Amino acid sequence: MQLLRGTKDILPDEIILWQYIEKTAAKIMTLANYNEIRTPIIESTSLFKRSIGNGTDIVNKEMYSFLDQNSREITLRPEGTASIARAFINSKLYTNNKTQRLWYLGPMFRYERPQQGRQRQFHQLGIECIGSLNPIADAEVIRIAHKLLNTLECTDYIMEINSIGQLEERKKYKQSLIEYLEPYIEDLDNTSRNKLYTNPLKILDSKNTKTQEIIYNAPCLYDYLEIPSKQHFEKVCEYLDFLGIQYNINKKLVRGLDYYNYTAFEIKTNSLGTQDTICGGGRYDSLIKELGGPNVPSVGWAIGIERLLITIKNQLHKKIEKNKPLVYLAVDGQNTEKEILNIVEILEKKDISYNLDLDNNSLQQQLKKADKQGAKACLILRDYEIKNNYITLKKLSTSEQKQFSIFNIDDLIRTLENMSQNL
């Protein structure tokens, strides 16, 4: 049996990096008063059609959708924000009129061509700040992304930011963009040609060289923004300047989901080739209302964990040691098993890490395994020790050995705790 294309096993040597990222994120989010939320992997297909938009590649080409046994249309979630908005409405989190700060981490699914940093099952870490229209909320979520990436020693990136205004402003701009592009329709790449009348803003994001030349002189969305949109964007930039967060204004930056308005931003790195975006987000003030909830403004972002790992795994491998037991439990003899299980329970109560040998190897082989696994000491229990009511502790770095009474092993535990503190 083989893995499905576009999926990946996360093996123990790599999972320690994932755990480190999650632990770091949880600490930063908790300090900023963000609370974790976990939503189902499956949702009604209509949720994503209504939120992401029928004109997007995600809805038209990439969603994993199926009919369940009750003929309901079900989709594996392709992104996290729509599910958070649905949960916000279902659970009536708006009733206390407080700003909800939420974060999540989990798998998403899109039927795309597998490539570096993007599998068909991929993982996103995201935050949503729900309930504030204040531009400082935009700056806050960007600051948290900036803080997280720098804490994880991901520093080789640039941030691009833009305002995509409100829906009515974009409608006027879309019409002007279509009128500009129509004379060039035969010169556009096939993907852009197909999007001309369904999602023309995404043509601005085309990587095709010829298309980029065509849109160089295209109308600028910023020129179609009205005063409130421009003022909001200017305030966001003002706060970022105050925070010392560097950014580039990219007036051709758009996001691939229909629910965005006002602020849109992407954080890009040079180490990923064409798939260079590791974090993307923005404001989505109308999404919750569109899904049947109250009119509540929101802003957030999502980081692709697989892409992030590509950029930082070398640094993290140097920083994070593999899980190494403090003591290796070596047994030799017919009457040692029950006694060593008592020792295991005592070690667990004292939070002392251990590895119990299960292979029935010779004592010499067990000592070699203990050293290879990076254990600091080896607890040796043989029939000889059982007969004389003690257990032997051998420090692997010095080969020093000491015996401790089985009837009162407090001295042994204190010795192990001191060793643990000196690591």
Q: What angle do helix axes 12-31 and 305-319 make, rounded to 10 degrees? A: 100
pLDDT for the residue numbered 316? 84
Closest to 126 (Cα-Cα) out of 276, 281, 14, 240? 281
- Could you give the CA distance from residue 18 to residue 38 in angstroms, rounded to a whole number? 17
Break the chain into its structural domains and give their ranges: 12-166+226-319, 327-421
**For residue 350, what are the contacts with CB-CB under 8 A and spacing of at least 6?**
413, 416, 417
Using alpha carbons only, give the angle 398, 400, 401 rounded to the nearest 5 degrees. Answer: 150
pLDDT, position 295 = 93
Confidence at residue 257, expressed as pLDDT on a 0 to 100 scale:
66
Model-wide pTM > 0.85? yes
User: Are the beta carbons of 363 and 330 closer than 8 angstroms?
Assistant: yes
Count of all residues that appear for the chain in the document: 423
- The fold for domain 12-166+226-319 equals BirA Bifunctional Protein; domain 2 (3.30.930)
What's the confidence (pLDDT) of residue 203?
87
- The whole-number pLDDT of residue 275 equals 62
Q: Does domain 327-421 have CATH number 3.90.1200.10?
A: no
Kindly give, in sequence order, each residue whose CB lies less than 8 Å from that of residue 279, ignoring residues fewer than 6 positions away.
Answer: 145, 149, 266, 267, 301, 302, 303, 304
pLDDT for the residue 29: 97
Segment-wise mean pLDDT, segments of 10 residues, the chain, 423 residues = 93 92 96 97 94 79 94 96 96 90 97 88 97 96 96 91 90 91 89 86 84 89 92 97 94 77 91 77 93 95 94 83 86 83 90 89 89 91 88 91 87 88 68
Around Cβ 327, how many Cβ atoms within 10 Å? 25
Q: Is 308 left (phi over 0), alpha (psi -120 to 50) or beta?
A: alpha
